């Protein structure tokens, strides 16, 4: 963290205290939860006797400004834990008392500002007067400690910046993000839906959404084939024995779905790797066979709490562009470098910049520390060889190995979890994988887990928001809308549309008895890249009048010329 980031975090945490102070004054009887700084802002959880509404936010903001003007100092007070418990019991702050019981230290710190007191490690700004540009953003529900059986708290989100200019820019980005929300655009553009009656967290792709997904899948299949990956397909369920061997039932159980078939325990697959391992293990392998690269668009199922489900970004059933590479240890570094190059190429194609994290060994892990260190060192060296700056994310590796995590950056500067590369010495040992080495002896291969996009659902959600639904031509579910000016132009319009379809373009025909302006407006709302307007002049000359969604009128052209331009734009993936 830079000094600027630390200062901003301290400012935000201090502002969360001021918000809690304001809520305490406005709503007697409130019980305080926690109020941390978070990325881009802060929140505080409250147990309130009444339900907050958006109309309450301006009142709370006004009270906060009153407190800020008084320039209350933030004073640190250290006391025995026992006395702190007595203090918060007297105040009726049961959640603070619970937090205190969870603290092992016998000395704790509190912070006072005015007549407000909170349990807190700090640090804080000098006084409330340093808070200049703040805004409360929203209200949400949150279970205490994130546990569904605990009481539901009311969480107020806010943000604060050192200057009004920075705040205004952030608020502008929030408004732009609302316009780009993939859930709203998914409905408006008829791409996908999620049906509560069928189960939360499971995505239904509509025809247009299936086209978008299909284009991405076709691209991935082609690019993987170019790089020597072989496609495989595995079942969606397997006996629990497989997951016992892999370690998932020990390390990942809370995220798994279980079922019984013929009195035997089965698991709905949360990951594809054990299935790919079985395919590798089916016959004897030679050192000459390696590396072996298996690729699958594999759908997996993981339990996520209902409170964290979020459109396409957090679901319970999703598809990964998953691949597993079985290689000799002397091949490992070259394989990692090739994957990094693959990721870099694909991110450029889709128009994303990205940042890189190196995620290291968690507390709960499989395998030996020595193997973890070897794997981490190879990942680190590969990133440095490619000149990619990265940050170390301590303890964020998966249970079987360290990983490179790629965060996609969209046009608003937001980050999305995307590609991942994981080095695994552990699973090949657990499954007793071997190959015959050059010396004729059995050796254990190394396994690399790799996803270039990550979850297709999350990637498509990010893609929708990055482009605001206005996809480049090669990705657009509908590339051209053909619209006759009058009924008499309908047959020629249909002829034009059919020729485009036969040549592989995705076309719709708008034959409604609407004015041409309304048809153009509707096509614009649906983010269609091109519109072809057909009138008397076009029909007589066997031409098309071309209109682009952002460039407007492009003039009249022969259909063959227009198709050649379309093909060139699609092939360039511009």
With respect to residue 254, please indicate whether it lies within any of the assigned structural domains.
no
pLDDT tier for residue 416 given thresholds of 50, 70 and 90: confident
Whether 451 and 548 map to the same domain: the answer is no
Whether 273 and 386 map to the same domain: the answer is yes
With respect to residue 279, please indicate whether it lies within any of the assigned structural domains.
yes
The CA distance from 520 to 472, in Å, is: 19
Cite the active site residues. 273, 302, 320, 322, 324, 403, 449
Whether 195 and 307 map to the same domain: the answer is yes
Whether 220 and 281 map to the same domain: the answer is yes
Q: Is the pLDDT of residue 1 over 60?
A: no
Q: Which one has a higher pLDDT value, 258 or 6?
A: 258
Cβ–Cβ under 8 Å, residues 188 and 470 = no
pLDDT tier for residue 413 given thresholds of 50, 70 and 90: confident
Q: Is the pLDDT of residue 323 over 70?
A: yes
Per DSSP, 423 falls in state: E
Whether 156 and 210 map to the same domain: the answer is no
Q: What are phi and psi of 344, to 5 degrees?
A: -60, -45
Whether 161 and 197 map to the same domain: the answer is no
Structural domain range at position 281: 187-235+269-467
- The domain tally of the chain equals 3
What's the pLDDT at 415? 85
With respect to residue 247, please indicate whether it lies within any of the assigned structural domains.
no
Say if strands 530-534 and 480-484 run parallel, antiparallel, or are unpaired.
parallel
With respect to residue 258, please indicate whether it lies within any of the assigned structural domains.
no
Whether 445 and 331 map to the same domain: the answer is yes
With respect to residue 242, please indicate whether it lies within any of the assigned structural domains.
no
Cβ–Cβ under 8 Å, residues 430 and 366 = yes
What's the pLDDT at 307? 79
Whether 351 and 491 map to the same domain: the answer is no
With respect to residue 257, please indicate whether it lies within any of the assigned structural domains.
no
The CA distance from 457 to 462, in Å, is: 9
pLDDT tier for residue 412 given thresholds of 50, 70 and 90: confident
Whether 490 and 458 map to the same domain: the answer is no
Whether 529 and 400 map to the same domain: the answer is no
Per DSSP, 526 falls in state: T
pLDDT tier for residue 223 given thresholds of 50, 70 and 90: very high
CATH (domain of 60): 3.30.980.10
With respect to residue 179, please indicate whether it lies within any of the assigned structural domains.
no
Mean pLDDT along residues 286-297: 98
pLDDT digits (tens, 9 = 90+) for 385-405: 999 999 999 998 888 889 999
Q: Is the pLDDT of residue 315 over 80?
A: yes
CATH (domain of 451): 3.30.930.10
Instruction: Choose among 538, 536, 571: nearest CA to 555.
Output: 538
Q: Is the pLDDT of residue 193 over 70?
A: yes
Whether 87 and 217 map to the same domain: the answer is no
What is the separation, in whole angstroms, between the first and last Cα of the chain? 36
Structure tokens at 20: 């809690």
Whether 370 and 496 map to the same domain: the answer is no
């Amino acid at each position: 963290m830079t000094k600027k980031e630390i200062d901003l975090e301290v400012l935000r945490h201090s502002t969360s205290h001021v918000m809690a102070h304001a809520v305490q004054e406005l709503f007697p009887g409130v019980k305080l939860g926690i109020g941390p700084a978070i990325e881009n802002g802060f929140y505080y959880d409250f147990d309130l006797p009444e339900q907050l509404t958006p109309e309450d936010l301006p009142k709370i903001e006004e009270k906060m400004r009153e407190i800020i003007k008084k320039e209350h100092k933030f004073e640190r007070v250290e006391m025995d834990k026992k006395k702190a418990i007595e203090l918060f019991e007297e105040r009726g702050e049961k959640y603070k008392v619970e937090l205190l019981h969870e603290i092992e230290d016998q000395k704790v710190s509190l912070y006072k500002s005015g007549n407000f007191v909170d349990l807190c490690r700090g640090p804080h700004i000098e006084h409330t007067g340093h808070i200049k540009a703040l805004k409360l953003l929203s209200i949400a529900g949150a279970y205490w400690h994130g546990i569904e059986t605990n009481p539901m708290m009311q969480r107020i989100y806010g943000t604060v910046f050192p200057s009004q200019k920075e705040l205004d820019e952030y608020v502008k980005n929030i408004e732009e993000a609302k316009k780009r929300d993939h859930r709203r655009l998914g409905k408006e553009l008829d791409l996908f839906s999620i049906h509560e009656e069928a189960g939360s967290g499971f995505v239904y792709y509509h025809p247009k959404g299936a086209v978008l997904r299909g284009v991405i899948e076709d691209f991935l299949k082609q690019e993987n084939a170019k790089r020597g990956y072989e496609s495989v397909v595995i079942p969606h369920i397997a006996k629990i024995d497989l997951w016992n061997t892999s370690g998932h039932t020990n390390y990942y159980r809370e995220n798994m779905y279980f079922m019984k078939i013929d009195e035997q325990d089965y698991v709905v697959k949360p990951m594809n790797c054990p299935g790919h391992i079985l395919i590798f293990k089916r016959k004897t392998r030679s050192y000459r066979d390696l590396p072996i690269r298996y690729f699958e668009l594999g759908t997996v199922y993981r339990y996520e709490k209902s409170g964290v489900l979020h459109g396409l970004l957090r679901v319970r059933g999703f598809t990964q562009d998953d691949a597993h590479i079985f290689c000799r240890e002397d091949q490992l570094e070259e394989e990692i470098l090739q994957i990094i190059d693959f990721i870099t190429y694909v991110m450029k194609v889709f128009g994303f910049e990205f940042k890189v994290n190196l995620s290291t060994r968690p507390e709960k892990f499989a395998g030996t520390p020595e193997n973890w260190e070897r794997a981490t060192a190879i990942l680190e060296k590969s990133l440095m060889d490619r000149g990619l700056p990265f940050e170390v994310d301590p303890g964020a590796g998966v249970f079987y190995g360290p990983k490179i995590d790629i965060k996609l950056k969209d046009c608003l500067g937001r980050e999305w979890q995307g590609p991942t590369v994981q080095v695994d010495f552990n699973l090949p040992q657990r499954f007793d994988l071997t190959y015959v080495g050059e010396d004729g002896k059995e050796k254990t291969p190394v396994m690399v887990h790799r996803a270039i996009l990550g979850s297709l659902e999350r990637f498509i959600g990010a893609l929708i928001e990055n482009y605001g639904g206005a996809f480049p031509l090669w990705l657009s579910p509908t590339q051209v809308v053909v619209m006759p000016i009058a009924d008499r132009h309908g047959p020629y319009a249909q002829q034009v549309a059919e020729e485009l379809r036969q040549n592989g373009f995705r076309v719709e025909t708008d034959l409604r008895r609407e004015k041409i302006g309304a048809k153009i407006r509707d096509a614009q709302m649906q983010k269609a890249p091109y519109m072809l307007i057909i009138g008397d002049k076009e029909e007589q000359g066997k031409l098309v009048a071309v209109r682009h969604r952002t460039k407007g009128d492009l003039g009249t052209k022969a259909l063959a010329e227009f198709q050649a331009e379309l093909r060139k734009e699609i092939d360039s993936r511009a």
